[in-house]
Amino acid sequence: MEKVFQALSSTVRRKILAYLSESSMTAGEIAERFDISKPSLSKHLSVLENAGLISGEKRGQFIHYSLVGDNLTNTLNGYLQLVCPVSRPLRQESAEKARRLAAEDLGLETDPDMAADKH
């Protein structure tokens, strides 16, 4: 439990959890959203992994990080993200990315302007 509290004590790590709330991301995609060094980001990801809050899966040359869904802490954190003014937009960005990926998997149009032109 101490590792979980340590992991959640960092604003950067809480933001990473918000970004991963709806969709997996590579370390590079996460890094684009922060103004920190890659070694620092790697340390944050390691702390989150060691606390059992995220997991990494190697796909090709990239590691895709995602939340460990069965973790009670992530369930509670997800609830807090719905009401937190800082995390809410990050969670929305994650949901939009998840919708785009799902649409691409189904072969649907993902550009809203193009979809509007067809109607």
- Domains of the chain, with CATH numbers? 2-117 (1.10.10.10)
As a whole number, the mean pLDDT across the chain is 84
Q: Measure the CA angle with vertex 25, ends 99 and 13; round to 5°.
A: 115
Q: How far is CA 20 from CA 26, 73, 92, in A?
A: 10, 14, 11
pLDDT-based confidence at residue 119 (cuts at 50, 70, 90): very low
Q: For residue 55, what are the β-bridge partners?
A: 66
Q: Decide: residue 70, CB within 10 A, 0-12 exposed, 13-18 middle, 19+ buried.
A: exposed
pLDDT tens track for 16-29: 999 998 899 999 99
Backbone angles phi, psi at 61, to 5 degrees: -95, 0
pLDDT-based confidence at residue 93 (cuts at 50, 70, 90): confident
Query: Lowest-pLDDT range, 12-16, 33-37, 47-51, 79-83?
Result: 79-83
